[in-house]
Amino acid sequence: PSDTKQEKKDVVISGIDISSSFSGYENGIRHKLKMESDDRPKISLWGILKSMIGKDMTRMTLPVSFNEPTSLLYRCGEDMEYVELLDLAAERSDSIERLMYVAAFAASEYASTIGRVAKPFNPLLGETFEYVRPDKNYRFFIEQVSHHPPIGAAWAESPNWTYWGESHVKSKFYGKSFDINPLGTWFLKLRPTAGGKEDLYTWKKVTSSVVGIITGNPTVDNYGPMEIKNWTTGEVALVEFKARGWKASSAYQIVGKVMDASGQVRVSLGGRWNSRLYARLTPGYEAAVDEPSTKNKDIVHRGSIADPSRAYLIWQANERPAGIPFNLTPFVLTFNHIDDKLRPWIAPTDSRLRPDQRAMEEGEYDFAATEKNRLEENQRARRRMRENAGEEFVPAWFTKATCEITGEEYWQFNGKYWTQREKAGPDGDYE
């Protein structure tokens, strides 16, 4: 299924060595789904939704044709699409430049929301998803730790950084729009390759919203302020996602600034979350940063931003080839891939083993619907059994902890997933 062999990189380990988790991924990623196109029935969203005003997404029963073959666990894993920005950040010796790339990373995940007005599957309690990229030297892991409300605890690692947080969204259908409010805080520990202190950054995700439901032109918009703070240095980046509004020109727009610990602006940011982001050195003042008219506008900048007279391209969205079923991105379609090498390594709780999501991506919508019902019935039965026995669900791989630096709660990964995986070996004998 794949032509790109993923070779182990010669990694210089400044932090964690994750290469022991590469087993199973030898065949590389897949580049397409089995199915050529999704011939889902086109039903009006408003026709179905109009009776559900005031409801949240988890309480809505929608025909499976409104689903896409992803889940909220996969949607969180999509944060990994542009992790190169974190490696770029770690390589910068100036903390303002590091923060600039971290802000670009925090904004980059929204590019994948374009053209994806579809409901991801709701993960089952205790469902897990692991995703390892030996070619990019990172590993990602997430566990569904609560069902109502739906909460996923995520933990990703690479030698230069650790990224973790709670994927917890509150959603509500208001009639005019369908709003999704992320509640959790995201943490990033960066280990600058030049040495020195580790940086700890935190931020919260912005609001996502499906607009244009009534007019029959549903679109995902992402809007609101995002504050990315470096707790080690006191520096802050403010990034504003502009709401779509009436004018086409404000669609997808981002404006922002990176400030030093005394609040002085050092770098101005601008661009669009669906295409490109630019930065300009603006010591002591703020300036609008827009797409330059030069022919070099597509070359991503990888050095220091030294020249205040020009804007540098710091992030560019990946291509979205037309014709991928469900409008998926080439990145997310690699998630549900499983082959004979990988199968024996993954946990029995891994999302790749969900028959309903598998059926969905293969276009067997009726089977997907009956399997989804069966799994959810089983989940309800397990919950009743727990209740009768007076037990509570305990996540296998995470525990609640409080961050000493920010004072906020987070899900601490116990790390055992990867050691268990290694111990179990290719026979896949988890406890």
**Contact set with ligand CLR (CB under 6 A):** 49, 57, 62, 66, 75, 109, 113, 117-120, 169, 178, 180, 182, 205, 208, 210, 220
Closest listed residue to residue 132, CA positions, set 317, 8, 315: 8
Would you say 118 or 311 has its CB closer to ligand CLR?
A: 118
The number of beta carbons lying within 10 Å of the beta carbon of residue 344 is 14
Would you say 120 or 192 has its CB closer to ligand CLR?
A: 120
Whole-number minimum distance, CB 307 to ligand CLR, in Å?
33
Tell me the two tokens of residue 44: 């009006």
The number of beta carbons lying within 10 Å of the beta carbon of residue 86 is 25
Would you say 117 or 314 has its CB closer to ligand CLR?
A: 117
Would you say 45 or 359 has its CB closer to ligand CLR?
A: 45
Which residue's Cβ lies closest to ligand CLR?
Answer: 75
Whole-number minimum distance, CB 208 to ligand CLR, in Å?
4
Closest listed residue to residue 317, CA positions, set 257, 266, 259, 254: 254
- Give, in order, the Cα–Cα distances in Å from 276 to each of 74, 251, 289, 305, 330: 24, 13, 11, 17, 18
The number of beta carbons lying within 10 Å of the beta carbon of residue 303 is 8
Residue 101 sits at φ, ψ, to 5 deg, of: -70, -35
d(CA 424, CA 212): 49
Would you say 113 or 357 has its CB closer to ligand CLR?
A: 113
Whole-number minimum distance, CB 68 to ligand CLR, in Å?
8
Whole-number minimum distance, CB 105 to ligand CLR, in Å?
12
Place of tokens 């295409």: 275
Q: Cβ distance 1 to 337 under 8 Å?
A: yes
Q: Cβ distance 261 to 235 under 8 Å?
A: yes
Give the largest CA-CA distance in the chain.
Answer: 68
| 239 CB-near residues (< 8 Å, 6+ apart) | 103, 106, 107, 225, 226, 227, 228, 254, 255, 256, 269
Would you say 80 or 180 has its CB closer to ligand CLR?
A: 180
Closest listed residue to residue 428, CA positions, set 361, 340, 359: 340
Whole-number minimum distance, CB 398 to ligand CLR, in Å?
18
Whole-number minimum distance, CB 178 to ligand CLR, in Å?
5
Would you say 182 or 363 has its CB closer to ligand CLR?
A: 182
Whole-number minimum distance, CB 240 to ligand CLR, in Å?
17
Would you say 27 or 327 has its CB closer to ligand CLR?
A: 327
Whole-number minimum distance, CB 403 to ligand CLR, in Å?
20
